[in-house]
Structure 1
């Protein structure tokens, strides 16, 4: 399965184990690398810069020949630790960085000085062309089947549109749960895929057994889009608690969002409340089950080690 992505990252299969807030960890990425795919962790999964540095060092020392690991950076003002996180990752020389929610210009410029590749999340052609002009090494094309914060275009539409107008590799994010899905994305023109939700129900994942089991028990038809986490549409499992609280912003939030001066603060407050609820549901037993996942959990039928999940994706 040689593609531009396997060449870029020196991996056997064109798959990135997607960075997932609260879920991804060092053990998952180690297993991913030893299975011939790349792994990525959100920098925000670490509370301190020292913890981030330790994780990068551990992955670097465990990296097999032909392995690749990276970190995801939120590159807008909401992440007050962005610049210091970038500095740590450059010093520790991870293989790649995935940028989200902001301009990747500084990340690209700094990372390239250390030989680190930068892939950028995009949901449309306009932003894809911007990051390509800034020097991005590849595009993460986030489509409407992605878990968490997703795009609005179908995988086929988005990939083909980017392929026609961009000259850097396209990595499709969303809607991949089996080998047939990977083949489809490559056929549309992608050089690889970013796969997240199937790895939530892995033995190594840093979430509760209840969260993992939910990914087994629920399927694609149980995924709904909610505005109650960050103020931006986000996919979650439609648990009884989600049904109880609803998926739309409150009338007060909608009203305040119309005020240009207050809009930013309302979103920041909603984001803080939503992330805290998500963290509690993922890491401790609670009736407030707000579990983020995408429709590709349809293919999750058991809690398995990462190596077995990878086998299912490439078999």
Structure 2
């Protein structure tokens, strides 16, 4: 099944994941101008009581910036952008944010932590598509039954709320019955990983941690440097901080006075997005990241991160096509 036409403008088969606090209009605009889908969580746009609605201002900024880019670069249009909606019952802003996003005709809606038909209907009402993130085949089937257009398979190694299953197993099980848009999340920080995602059956890669250290990212310098200096062994999996299993930087846990090797667990009943946060204030500097951070070695503009991944992707394809011997012609050819 072909991808929806709105993906035709992509320079790379990649969607940038929405990052709590980190993703803001500046990062989204840079990602879209460079040819990948940029995204942000609606809950990142927060205003004090009585102030103008920040989500309105962000959507206006992004929409107008991409329209100007397209007018100035008709031969190199920007990729579409996406907004992430946390569909958890504690998100008291959900209904308001759905109305705003529908009014601004957001093209791609990413839904997390629950599958609800009314959210998919809101996306469809303005001509958008809904992609739901899932960690296993059961949740994938529920999401499609409730009207999602596509799926984001969040496999082992992904940052933030991560799944535990191998990408090989997860993609295979979903592709056995679903031929719609399918994205893969889990250490997609290099061009080789992006090509591998397609090889196992995904249409697009879903990359988050690769952009935490981008210059446009709204992350503390200490956070960015921890990403630049880290690798897969620096990632700890825990449910303590949000009630759902997630991946976090070991050093940030230690800095908070906790033992990263002896963390207690928590269950989903402790999740609360009523104040627009993914974690309680006490843990605001415990930072999420995925196992692909070893590929991030410097703080660079998002455009340079994307250019690096694009060059690696092209080189990986070329290497496979050049394979000789008994396996010649059996590499990636699409």
TM-score, shorter chain, exceeding 0.5: yes
Using a 3 Å threshold, how does the CA distance of structure 1 residues 267 and 25 change in structure 2: closer, same or farther? closer
Shift of 1:66: 4.3
Q: Would you say the 8 A contact 1:6–1:12 is kept in 2?
A: no
State the partner residue of 2:100.
88
Shift of 1:118: 0.6
Per-residue CA deviation, residues 210-243 of structure 1 (Å, 9 max, x unaligned), is 1101101111111111233112221111117438
Shift of 1:246: 2.8
Question: How does 1:15-54 map onto structure 2 within 5 Å?
Answer: 15-48=14-47, 50-54=53-57
Q: Would you say the 8 A contact 2:18–2:39 is kept in 1?
A: yes
Per-residue CA deviation, residues 126-148 of structure 1 (Å, 9 max, x unaligned), is 12122222332210111111101
State the partner residue of 1:58.
61
Shift of 1:268: 4.2
Shift of 1:111: 1.4
Q: Would you say the 8 A contact 1:145–1:155 is kept in 2?
A: no
1:131 aligns with 2:143: yes
TM score, norm. by length of structure 1 = 0.86
Q: Secondary structure of 1:73's partner?
A: strand
Q: Would you say the 8 A contact 2:252–2:287 is kept in 1?
A: no
Per-residue CA deviation, residues 160-183 of structure 1 (Å, 9 max, x unaligned), is 111112121110011211110011
Q: Secondary structure of 2:224's partner?
A: helix
Q: Would you say the 8 A contact 2:34–2:78 is kept in 1?
A: no
1:116 aligns with 2:128: yes
Q: Secondary structure of 2:20's partner?
A: coil
Structure 1 range deviating more: 234-243 or 196-205? 234-243
1:274 aligns with 2:279: yes
State the partner residue of 2:7.
9
Q: Secondary structure of 1:93's partner?
A: coil
Structure 2: runs of 5+ lacking an equivalent: 71-76, 312-334
State the partner residue of 2:316.
none
Shift of 1:125: 1.2
- The equivalent position to 1:153 in structure 2, one of 156, 159, 165, is 165
Q: State the distance in 2 between where 1:302 and 1:99 align.
A: 31
Question: How does 1:221-240 map onto structure 2 within 5 Å?
Answer: 221-239=233-251
Using a 3 Å threshold, how does the CA distance of structure 1 residues 210 and 114 change in structure 2: closer, same or farther? same
Kindly indicate which of the two structures has a greater share of residues assigned to helix.
1
1:202 aligns with 2:198: no
Using a 3 Å threshold, how does the CA distance of structure 1 residues 313 and 223 change in structure 2: closer, same or farther? same
Q: State the distance in 2 between where 1:5 and 1:236 align.
A: 32
TM score, norm. by length of structure 2 = 0.82
State the partner residue of 2:307.
311
State the partner residue of 1:284.
none
State the partner residue of 1:68.
80
State the partner residue of 1:297.
293
Q: State the distance in 1 between where 2:153 and 2:222 align.
A: 30
